[in-house]
Amino acid sequence: MKILGINAYHANASAALVIDGQLVTAVEEERFNRVKYAAGFPVNAIRHCLAEVGLTLQEIDHVAIPRNPWARLATKLFYAVRMPRFTLDRFRAMKQFKGIHEDLAAACDVDPKAIRAQLHRIEHHVAHLASAFFVSPFDRAAVLSTDGLGDFASTMWATGEGNRLKVHGAVAFPHSLGLYYTALSQYLGFWKFGDEYKVMGLAAYGEPTHVEEFRRIVKADGGKGFALGLQYFCHHRTGPEMTWQENGKTPVLGQLFSPYLEERLGKTRTADEPVGKKHQDIAASMQAVLEEAYFRLLNQLHQTTRQSQACLAGGVAFNCVANGKIFDNTPFSQVYVQPAAGDAGLAVGAAYYVYHQILGQPRSFVMDHAYWGPQFTPEAIAQALENGRTKVSSLGVRKLSDEELVCATAKHIADGKIVGWFQGRAEWGPRALGNRSILVDPRRAEMKDILNQRIKRRETFRPFAPSIREEATGQFFERSHPSPFMNLAYSVRPEKRAIIPAPTHVDGTGRLQTVSRQTNPRYWALIKEFEKLTGVPVLLNTSFNENEPIVLTPQEAINCFLRTRMDVLVLGNYVVEKPLLASPPGEATAAGARLGNAG
């Protein structure tokens, strides 16, 4: 049984292949076309899925699409009359879905009539719920999906049991925690699609001084958990206006907040205006009220389901700060958030919904790691190095044994070098989890600035994340519940904060990745070796990129290494080193950066 899941005509376009209940591969289109959050039809991702196992499109039995134009038809018709432009956009989207056979056939260069796969349209949030539960380690769980908007709903909750999902309720347009967060991010001057996580980072600097006002923006609402104070918004009058840039690949969301929000909170921050205390406090208030609504939803869900495990999906499930507090604010004792909790994950969710809920097949798969993307052979890596020979050879390329590689890399990191680490299969989801990562010494407080000056060039208030050897989690963090996909933030133990200052955020938390020996033995061994050298079982791990989607191919890794002031590149078993560069005035040297108190 071969099922192809496709998230198409929507941001975070992606494809996933499930064969006999086992996930074979899953990847976002952005990794191929190099457009962040790419929408449109995931031609390259689909081609990769088929090529990975040498299948043709004609051999696929089912195609699952996470969108159902007929879902919530009554609500859609109600708003269709009020929002003609939005309705026209929806109509165009529906027309695109009618052409899915043709687009699939064109992507794979076959005659549309040759496709024998059955097409399934799965409602957006149902696919989110499926993406959270059907690949979780739990046989039973409460399941929650919360995001901006999909098929005219923003939130849906269910009980998952075995191979079934039972949906209990939903919150329909225009009420949406995702749109709330996006609207306030816009107000704070962060307009780019996907910028919400920046505001989550900013929130840690502020005090929630506007909570009372924000409780009118997101109100508690009995059985639904929340309702928006619609006077603060305009999307319910005009529809969330989505336009597309870069040949229709990048989504741009129009203004969601109304003039009333500015009346209440003051003028919006312009993009070039410095971020001040007021903005920090507004971000903190926004985050605090999001958490209140999120925990209300989860507590109600617990009352309905009486489960102690929760599976979460939707864009809001990327709010690692809120996720990390679930244990203290709800009765849930275990939480699972798969690595592509946002819309890319719909491809996996739709495919598994077809396999279990529609076809009635039993569960046999757990997503316990994120390494489902493309991989490259040692020969392909060697070829990429050969292609860049004129530039790379002067730097010296060494091929090391596994053991030598881990020892040499750990030493580079401990010596204060910035190391690009490219191994195995690319990560599924937006986080680099030790296969397409830039790694540095977490003990050096200056590393945050050095990374920003040399490579990342991102807002200085954004935190960097720690990867920790799974077994040591409780020694450094106040919780040890696994966080393999960097979707939970915990407090770093107060006595450890000075030991790992670089990935400890201003509020003392870290958005950690717990690294398991079973699921990524090479990355685990690297952390262990670093621990041998320094006494610290933690690395600072940031994505291998420079303001672009995470690198996918060895060539992209080499280009990023050469383009930036990265010191060392580790590609499979090959190591490339740059000579130590003189630092420009005003920049701390990586190798000379002051060490925290090693412990």
Stretch that binds Fe ion, among 142-150, 167-175, 361-369, 453-461 (CB under 5 A): 142-150
* Min separation Cβ 278 and Fe ion, Å: 31
Token duo for residue 317: 């499930």
CB nearer Fe ion, residue 150 or residue 240: 150
User: 495 by DSSP, 3-state: which?
Assistant: helix
Closest CA to 13 of 3, 436, 33: 33
387 sits in the region (left: phi over 0; alpha: psi -120 to 50; else beta) called: alpha
Binding mask 284-323 for Fe ion (x = CB under 5 A): ----------------------------------------
Count of residues binding Fe ion (CB under 5 A)? 3
28 binds Fe ion, rule: CB under 5 A: no
CB nearer Fe ion, residue 319 or residue 504: 319
Residue 5 near residue 128 (C-beta atoms within 8 A): no
CB nearer Fe ion, residue 150 or residue 373: 150
CB nearer Fe ion, residue 7 or residue 514: 7
* Min separation Cβ 377 and Fe ion, Å: 35
Residue 271: CB atoms within 10 Å:
9
Place of tokens 């770093």: 492
Contacts of residue 516, Cβ cutoff 8 Å, sequence gap at least 6 = 368, 369, 470, 482, 484, 524
Contacts of residue 461, Cβ cutoff 8 Å, sequence gap at least 6 = 201, 202, 205, 275, 506
Burial category of 588 from C-beta neighbours within 10 Å (exposed 0-12, middle 13-18, buried 19 and up): middle
* Min separation Cβ 182 and Fe ion, Å: 12
| φ, ψ dihedrals at 304, nearest 5° | -70, -40
* Min separation Cβ 124 and Fe ion, Å: 6
Residue 52 near residue 108 (C-beta atoms within 8 A): no
* Min separation Cβ 231 and Fe ion, Å: 26
Binding mask 426-465 for Fe ion (x = CB under 5 A): ----------------------------------------
Q: Rule CB under 5 A: which of 200-259 touch Fe ion? A: none
CB nearer Fe ion, residue 155 or residue 542: 155
| φ, ψ dihedrals at 468, nearest 5° | -125, 140
* Min separation Cβ 147 and Fe ion, Å: 4
Q: Rule CB under 5 A: which of 335-364 touch Fe ion? A: 343
| φ, ψ dihedrals at 522, nearest 5° | -70, -45
CB nearer Fe ion, residue 150 or residue 596: 150
Residue 564 near residue 438 (C-beta atoms within 8 A): no
150 binds Fe ion, rule: CB under 5 A: yes
- Name the DSSP class of 430: S
Place of tokens 């590689």: 405
CB nearer Fe ion, residue 312 or residue 381: 312
The secondary element (H helix, E strand) that includes residue 310 is: strand 309-313
* Min separation Cβ 394 and Fe ion, Å: 47
* Min separation Cβ 46 and Fe ion, Å: 20
Q: How many residues does the chain have?
A: 599
* Min separation Cβ 336 and Fe ion, Å: 17
The secondary element (H helix, E strand) that includes residue 157 is: strand 153-161
d(CA 203, CA 183): 15
* Min separation Cβ 525 and Fe ion, Å: 36
The DSSP bridge pattern shows strands 309-313 and 218-219 to be unpaired
CB nearer Fe ion, residue 339 or residue 503: 339
d(CA 582, CA 589): 8
Stretch that binds Fe ion, among 145-153, 244-252, 260-268, 561-569 (CB under 5 A): 145-153
* CA dist 239 → 93, 200, 230, 381, 469 (Å): 14, 25, 13, 47, 46
Residue 502 near residue 594 (C-beta atoms within 8 A): no
The DSSP bridge pattern shows strands 118-121 and 62-65 to be parallel
CB nearer Fe ion, residue 68 or residue 473: 68
* Min separation Cβ 178 and Fe ion, Å: 8
* Min separation Cβ 417 and Fe ion, Å: 39
* Min separation Cβ 340 and Fe ion, Å: 11
CB nearer Fe ion, residue 12 or residue 287: 12
Stretch that binds Fe ion, among 143-151, 209-217, 393-401, 538-546 (CB under 5 A): 143-151
Contacts of residue 366, Cβ cutoff 8 Å, sequence gap at least 6 = 135, 136, 137
* CA dist 200 → 134, 194, 206, 437 (Å): 28, 12, 11, 22
529 binds Fe ion, rule: CB under 5 A: no
* CA dist 211 → 166, 185, 214, 475, 490 (Å): 35, 16, 5, 34, 23
Residue 256 near residue 183 (C-beta atoms within 8 A): yes
CB nearer Fe ion, residue 146 or residue 423: 146
517 CA to centre of own chain: 22
Nearest residue (beta carbon) to Fe ion: 147
* Min separation Cβ 343 and Fe ion, Å: 4
CB nearer Fe ion, residue 30 or residue 343: 343
* Min separation Cβ 150 and Fe ion, Å: 4
CB nearer Fe ion, residue 10 or residue 296: 10
- Name the DSSP class of 448: H
Residue 61 near residue 2 (C-beta atoms within 8 A): yes
Stretch that binds Fe ion, among 88-96, 140-148, 285-293, 453-461 (CB under 5 A): 140-148
CB nearer Fe ion, residue 127 or residue 440: 127
147 binds Fe ion, rule: CB under 5 A: yes
CB nearer Fe ion, residue 40 or residue 150: 150
Q: Rule CB under 5 A: which of 543-582 touch Fe ion? A: none
- List residues binding Fe ion (CB under 5 A): 147, 150, 343
